[in-house]
């Protein structure tokens, strides 16, 4: 197929996938009230998506904060404004790095887990068995997992940001000797609550997108081992692309 | 529920009617016709077998009976209800009267055996925990796995998993049990256990049983009525004795396990000598 | 229904950690003080030029933050910028004749409102207006002033020499 035809095909696939995902979301929402009557399931999924991702999020947060401290200090030193390290790093973390990096890590860890779990249930007929037992698998399996991811990602984002700022502080103040008073006071002066809300909103939107893609791919995976693998790969790729696209859009809107 | 050492009744009440009626069903997928004019009946309280060469659509038939797929034309009646016209809620109601045993058990892998059997009870009833416990243990006892209640599905052998799945499908005391290839891939001992259980469920409880399989030997012991499906239609029907001496070639090939016949041994290919000695492709 | 205590516990811990982080971020690294202690009262000042003063900027006396800029609007009847400020109730002894100037924090910092105490015996209260104001420094005006003072000095010295001697004929 010529390159142009391939591109056309990919775009068409992308558009129909978006359509299918939207319809799937509609089906999910229909089952939402029923699914909310089983909070135990939702809590379990918040645990799977969130609590189990804590270690990776906190570790990466620390190192991203550290790198921000290193690079930020290096850059600001050239302009003689090292005191602004706190401000610059905090804003970068809160508005951009926090939400985006957390979402990408989430897609890699929790998104793949969700997709492969549901995909495996599809491949071993567990979902069909549920349908046969007159239990709607969307209500029992999909909705709790979607909600679990949706609740977890904003919380993970905040934790990432907090740890990240700590990381910046360790590098900037402890290692490079930036004055701690100006580090924190300048940060305080420049960072508004609205900035933090921006980060939380982004986290929520990304959580929505990543969780929805993951459960969709898992539910509609081809019921073979290869199919589940492909569904998992697609989850990460599509989630990452969407996160970055949404990030651009949200940043433009909230500026 | 029959205790494992209690005598299983050898006589059953007379057949009153057909629990499931399939009349002149046509169904095709992607342009390929799977059924063209399929007609069969499943008598209430008896064990009916559905057999046929691989790929004739036995699993598709089950999907049509359970309402997962809709036929292009024809009727599918369960206890008088036309399955394909039911709305989702009614369909779910109907499915509670059917129990289905999947080929690999299809146990929910994140719960242990007890929870798996309790699953339909928890989802559909508001029974108190003590009552659920009694029901689950009773069902597990009937299949001989009461002691395995705490194990996880991953720790079970194939035969044990299938027995647990049977206990689960029995949890809501259905009118009909559907067995999808229940004997496939089992060792002789496990197979014997399954055969005995299928028989027990039917004889002791009067549950209409539908067995889809191609294990001719096992079915010859179990089945009251058998259907052989080939070419999208019923190729032969009747008791096993009748089928063994049937005229049709395909029936003969199937029942007797002949390597060549209407279902050919050789996949269509160009002339042998030409391909070996002739021009390169 | 599996009530797995360990799962519930760790999930609860996770959620609590998330909210604790949020709390930490909001209180420690933003400039949200003045939130719930004691209440505040509103005071107004009108400026010809507010420079880059923003809503939420600090209002301070002697370098200590005593309030926030609540809103900024333009009044078309007097053609001035009207700045409404919220001052914490604990600072209720600010003389009515104090003046408000728009200052810049540091060389590149944001602008804020600095209040210098006057000597009156009545104090600012809810709805008071600060009469004495000093606008933000605009760079162009500053340059013009500087240029004018340079040229004025050279002309001035000439003028001064001449003026007293104007009576005597040169």
Measured distance CA(B244)–CA(B257) in Å, rounded: 11
Coil, strand, or helix at residue A189? Answer: helix
Measured distance CA(A109)–CA(A111) in Å, rounded: 6
pLDDT for C161 equals: 46
The model's pLDDT over A46-59, given as tens digits with 9 standing for 90+, comes to: 999 999 999 999 99
Strand partners, B40: B22
pLDDT for A210 equals: 95
Residues in chain B with CB shorter than 8 Å from the CB of A129 are 100, 102, 106, 108, 165
Measured distance CA(A234)–CA(B266) in Å, rounded: 40
Nearest C-alpha of chain A: how many angstroms from B120?
A: 7
Neighbours of B279 (CB within 10 A): 6
Q: How confident is the model at residue A1 (pLDDT cuts 50, 70, 90)?
A: low
Enter the ipTM. Answer: 0.78
Measured distance CA(A15)–CA(A125) in Å, rounded: 29
Asked if the Cβ–Cβ distance from C14 to A81 is below 8 Å, we say no
Residue-level pLDDT, tens digit, chain B, 281 residues = 444 445 666 777 777 788 888 888 888 888 788 888 889 899 998 999 998 877 778 888 888 888 888 888 888 988 888 888 888 888 888 888 888 898 888 899 888 999 999 999 988 888 899 999 999 999 999 888 999 899 999 999 888 999 999 999 988 889 999 998 888 888 888 888 888 888 888 888 888 999 998 888 888 888 888 988 888 888 888 888 888 777 778 778 888 888 887 777 888 888 888 888 876 65
Measured distance CA(A92)–CA(A69) in Å, rounded: 11
Query: How many residues belong to chain C?
Result: 170
Coil, strand, or helix at residue B260? Answer: coil
pLDDT for A56 equals: 94
Cβ distance B146 to B137 under 8 Å?
Answer: yes
Question: Per-residue pLDDT for A174 more than 70?
Answer: yes
Nearest C-alpha of chain A: how many angstroms from C37?
A: 18
Q: How confident is the model at residue A110 (pLDDT cuts 50, 70, 90)?
A: very high
Measured distance CA(A236)–CA(A248) in Å, rounded: 19
- What is the rounded average pLDDT of the residues A199-216? 95
Nearest C-alpha of chain B: how many angstroms from A81?
A: 55
- Which residues have CB under 8 Å from B177's CB, separation 6+? B98, B99, B100, B101, B166, B169, B170, B201, B207, B208, B209, B210
Nearest CA in chain A to B93: A134
Q: Does A125 reach chain B within 8 Å, measured CB to CB?
A: yes
Find, among B247, B186, B262, B174, the residue nearest to B217 by Cα: B186
Measured distance CA(B110)–CA(A160) in Å, rounded: 30
Neighbours of chain B (3+ CB pairs under 8 A): A, C
The stretches of chain C forming alpha helices (DSSP H) are 5-28, 139-165
Residues in chain C with CB shorter than 8 Å from the CB of B115 are 2
- What is the rounded average pLDDT of the residues A49-70? 93
CB-CB: which of B95, B104, B165 is closest to A134? Answer: B95
Cβ distance B17 to B192 under 8 Å?
Answer: no
Query: How far out from the chain centre does Cα B8 lie?
Result: 22
Asked if the Cβ–Cβ distance from A126 to B93 is below 8 Å, we say no
Residues in chain B with CB shorter than 8 Å from the CB of A130 are 108
Residues in chain B with CB shorter than 8 Å from the CB of C1 are 122
Cβ distance B44 to B17 under 8 Å?
Answer: yes
pLDDT for B137 equals: 93
CB-CB: which of A125, A132, A140 is closest to B95? Answer: A132
How many beta-carbon contacts under 8 Å exist across A and C?
83
Nearest CA in chain A to B121: A133
Neighbours of chain A (3+ CB pairs under 8 A): B, C
The model's pLDDT over C39-62, given as tens digits with 9 standing for 90+, comes to: 788 899 999 888 888 777 888 888
Measured distance CA(C100)–CA(C44) in Å, rounded: 10
Residues in chain B with CB shorter than 8 Å from the CB of A140 are 123
Which letter, b or e, does each residue of A166-190 get, where b requires 16 or more Cβ atoms within 10 Å of its Cβ?
A: ebbbebbbeeeebeeebbbebbbbb
What are the C-alpha distances in Å from B114 to residues A139, B137, B140, B182, C1? 22, 8, 8, 21, 12
Residues in chain A with CB shorter than 8 Å from the CB of B168 are 133
Cβ distance C55 to C71 under 8 Å?
Answer: yes
Which residue has 């007890």 as its token pair? B114
Cβ distance C131 to C44 under 8 Å?
Answer: no
What are the phi and psi torsion angles at A80 (to 5°)?
70, 15
What percentage of chain C exceeds 90 in pLDDT?
9
Strands of the B208-212 sheet, one edge to the other: B98-101, B176-180, B208-212, B47-51, B225-230, B233-238
Strand partners, B42: B20
Measured distance CA(B29)–CA(B72) in Å, rounded: 10
Asked if the Cβ–Cβ distance from B120 to A135 is below 8 Å, we say yes
Residues in chain C with CB shorter than 8 Å from the CB of A189 are 31, 105, 109-110
1-30 in chain C: CB under 8 A from chain B? 1-2
Question: Per-residue pLDDT for C3 more than 60?
Answer: no
pLDDT for B4 equals: 46
- Which residues have CB under 8 Å from A168's CB, separation 6+? A65, A66, A68, A69, A72, A85, A86, A89, A90, A93
* Helical packing angle, B113-124 and B129-142, nearest 10°: 130
- Which residues have CB under 8 Å from A236's CB, separation 6+? A107, A108, A111, A112
pLDDT for B167 equals: 92
Please report, for chain A, the start and end positions of each structural domain, with discontinuous segments joined by +: 40-254
The model's pLDDT over C101-160, given as tens digits with 9 standing for 90+, comes to: 998 876 666 788 899 988 888 888 888 888 888 888 877 888 888 888 887 765 554 444
What are the C-alpha distances in Å from C59 to residues B12, B80, C85? 94, 82, 8
Nearest CA in chain C to A81: C108
pLDDT for A102 equals: 96
Q: How confident is the model at residue C63 (pLDDT cuts 50, 70, 90)?
A: confident
What are the phi and psi torsion angles at C103 (to 5°)?
-115, 165
Cβ distance A168 to A87 under 8 Å?
Answer: no
Cβ distance A129 to A123 under 8 Å?
Answer: no
Asked if the Cβ–Cβ distance from C1 to B122 is below 8 Å, we say yes
Question: Per-residue pLDDT for A105 more than 70?
Answer: yes
pLDDT for B10 equals: 72
How many beta-carbon contacts under 8 Å exist across B and C?
3
Asked if the Cβ–Cβ distance from A51 to C10 is below 8 Å, we say yes
């Amino acid at each position: 197929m010529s390159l142009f035809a391939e591109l056309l095909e990919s775009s068409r696939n992308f558009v129909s996938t978006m359509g299918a995902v939207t319809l799937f979301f509609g089906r999910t929402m229909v089952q939402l009230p029923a699914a909310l009557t089983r909070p135990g399931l939702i809590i379990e999924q918040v645990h799977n998506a969130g609590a189990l991702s804590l270690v990776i999020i906190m570790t990466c947060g620390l190192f991203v904060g550290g790198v921000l401290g290193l690079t930020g200090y290096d850059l600001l030193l050239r302009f003689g404004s090292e005191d602004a390290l706190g401000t610059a790093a905090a804003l970068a973390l809160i508005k951009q790095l926090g939400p985006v990096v957390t979402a990408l890590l989430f897609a890699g860890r929790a998104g793949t887990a969700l997709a492969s779990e549901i995909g495996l249930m599809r491949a071993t007929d567990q979902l069909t068995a549920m349908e046969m037992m007159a239990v709607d698998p969307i209500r029992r399996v999909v909705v709790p997992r979607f909600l679990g991811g949706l609740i977890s990602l904003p919380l993970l984002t905040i934790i990432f940001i907090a740890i990240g700022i700590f990381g910046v502080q360790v590098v900037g103040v402890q290692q490079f000797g930036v004055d701690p008073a100006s580090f924190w006071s300048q940060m305080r002066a420049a960072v508004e609550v609205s900035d933090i809300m921006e980060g939380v909103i982004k986290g929520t939107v990304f959580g929505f997108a990543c969780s929805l893609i993951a459960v969709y791919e898992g539910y509609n995976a081809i019921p073979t081992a290869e199919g589940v693998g492909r569904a998992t790969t697609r989850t990460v790729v599509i989630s990452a692309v969407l996160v970055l696209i949404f990030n651009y859009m949200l940043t433009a809107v909230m500026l | 529920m029959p205790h494992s050492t209690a005598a299983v009744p050898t006589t059953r009440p007379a057949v009153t009617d057909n629990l499931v009626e399939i009349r002149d069903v046509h169904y095709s997928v992607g342009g390929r016709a799977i059924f063209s004019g399929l007609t069969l009946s499943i008598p209430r309280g008896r064990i009916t077998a559905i057999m046929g060469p691989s790929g004739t659509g036995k699993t598709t038939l089950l999907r049509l009976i359970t309402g997962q797929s809709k036929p292009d034309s024809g009727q599918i009646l369960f206890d008088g209800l036309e399955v394909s016209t039911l709305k989702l809620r009614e369909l779910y109601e109907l499915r509670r009267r059917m129990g289905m045993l999947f080929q690999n058990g299809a146990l929910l892998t994140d719960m242990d055996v007890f929870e798996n059997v309790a699953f339909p009870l928890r989802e559909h009833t508001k029974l108190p925990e003590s009552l659920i416990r009694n029901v689950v243990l009773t069902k597990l006892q009937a299949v001989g796995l009461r002691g395995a209640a705490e194990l996880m599905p991953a720790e079970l052998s194939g035969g044990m998993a299938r027995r647990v799945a049977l206990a689960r499908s029995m949890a809501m005391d259905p009118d009909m049990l559907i067995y999808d290839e229940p004997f496939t891939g089992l060792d002789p001992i496990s197979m014997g256990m399954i055969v005995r259980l299928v028989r027990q469920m039917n004889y002791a409880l009067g549950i209409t049983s539908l067995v889809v399989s191609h294990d001719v030997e096992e079915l010859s012991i179990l089945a009251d009525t058998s259907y052989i499906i080939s070419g999208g239609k019923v190729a032969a029907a009747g008791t096993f004795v009748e089928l063994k001496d049937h005229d049709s070639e395909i029936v003969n090939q199937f029942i007797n396990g002949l390597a060549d016949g209407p279902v050919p041994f050789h996949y269509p290919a160009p002339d042998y000598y030409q391909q070996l000695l002739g021009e390169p492709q | 229904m599996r009530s797995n205590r360990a799962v519930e516990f760790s999930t609860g811990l996770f959620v609590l950690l998330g909210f604790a982080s949020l709390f930490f971020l909001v209180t420690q690294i933003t400039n949200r003080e003045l939130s719930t202690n004691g209440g505040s009262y509103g005071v107004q000042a009108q400026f010809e030029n507010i420079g880059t003063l923003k809503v939420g900027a600090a209002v301070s006396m002697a370098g200590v933050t005593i309030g926030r800029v609540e809103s900024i609007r333009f009044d078309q009847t007097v053609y001035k910028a009207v700045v409404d400020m919220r001052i914490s109730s604990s600072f209720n002894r600010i003389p009515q004749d104090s003046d408000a100037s728009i200052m810049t924090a540091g060389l590149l910092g944001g602008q804020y409102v600095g209040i210098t105490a006057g000597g009156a015996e009545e104090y600012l209260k809810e709805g008071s207006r600060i009469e004495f104001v000093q606008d933000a420094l605009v760079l162009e005006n500053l340059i013009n002033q500087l240029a004018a003072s340079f040229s004025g000095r050279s002309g001035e010295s000439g003028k001064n020499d001449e003026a007293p001697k104007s009576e005597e004929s040169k």
